[in-house]
Amino acid sequence: MPTTPTPRIAIIGAGPGGLTCARVLQRHGLPVTVHDRDPGPGARDQGGTLDLHEDNGQLALREAGLLDDFHRLSRPEGQEMRQLDPAGTVLFHHTPEEGERFKPEIDRGVLRDLLLASLEPGTVRWGHTLRAVEGPAAGPRRLRFADGTVTEADLVIGADGAWSTVRRALSDATPRYSGVSFLEAWFHDVENAHPDIAAFVGQGSAAAADGDRCLFAQRNGGGHIRVYIIQREAADWITRAGLTIEQTDKIRARLLDRFTDWSPRFRRMLTDNDGRYVDRPIYALPVPHTWQHNPTVTLLGDAAHLMPPLGVGVNLAMLDACDLALALANHDKVDDAVRAYEQTMLPRAAEMQKRLDGGAEELLSTDLPDFATEAGSR
């Protein structure tokens, strides 16, 4: 526990990384404030399902004292995986064994609610959109928000994602488009409204690719399935086609043309979705992304090392968060804690960035997702 005056710690971003960091800090008696731009915890959809791994995400939850709650809320059956070809032939099918807990699934919203409920009341200040981090590098730092409020902090932690505002205080790097775009389709009440798709996907995920396109379908909690239509397209391909995201029927016709030779069971994933599509071009930070040490600002998760979505992002963010919180709890000076954290986090992130560099393209490969190799390596 620090013997110097208690530092004022401000976390920007109430995602899994930011909230995990806050939880571990509070468990060690360190006060912290989390600022988030959303007006409240239920302001928007939190996204799909996550697989939290035993060797990173679950380690962070154990340190947060939430691992048992996670296992109670998670869906181990979500580890089921099917790899198919575009004709719908199953090439590989992994069914989790009883008690398998290597990477059970949990919906993002459920995980966020678990973390939020674990924090002291008033920890998160909603409706705080950060505009700038000001003040000298030695501190204190001034945080200027869009609503005109200003607050001071001795340490600013950027957990604010791909387009991090905090990152600008450390680095000029900006995410670059990967050349691959996701279009997300939602299916609700699948057992009743979409029974064929529900049976096709199973309790976990099902994927097929042909080298140029990929369909990845994933079961979420509450009877929902999300399908990710993955294509090599310009980031603004919808606009270039003279369309808007609201023109569901015209986008659907374009997709049916592109997937014309795929199995009808896959094509129903393009046509039977509930509501409009969600456009998600895939960006990544330069590899490796590093910065000169600063004693009063640091980053975690996507703000530090945005990578293609290949199952590691949230896990690394939560591990970052845990490592940083423990460093702060175990060092007398913030500067020493940040330095120790970055000496661990930056090499780890650089190694993973290099491994996943260009990984968005691999999503289109007929070898990916390689469930057979993944299952065999456990």
**Burial annotation 186-219 (CB, 10 A radius, 16+ → b, else e):** bbeebeeebeebbebbbebbbbbbbeebbbbbbb
Query: Residue 302, annotated ligand binder?
Result: yes
Angle at 312 (CA atoms; ends 309, 317), nearest 5 degrees: 110
Using CA atoms, how far apart are residues 286 and 299, in angstroms rounded to an integer? 15
Sequence-distant contacts of 149-154: CB under 8 A, at least 24 apart = 151/10, 151/33, 152/8, 153/8, 153/9, 153/10, 153/33, 153/296, 154/7, 154/8, 154/9, 154/296, 154/334
Using CA atoms, how far apart are residues 23 and 66, in angstroms rounded to an integer? 10
Cα 88 off chain centre by: 29
Peptide bond into 31 cis (omega under 30): no
DSSP class of 57: H
Query: Residue 51, annotated ligand binder?
Result: yes
Annotated binding-site ranges: 44, 51, 108, 302
Annotated binding-site ranges for NADPH: 44
Annotated binding-site ranges for FAD: 51, 108, 302
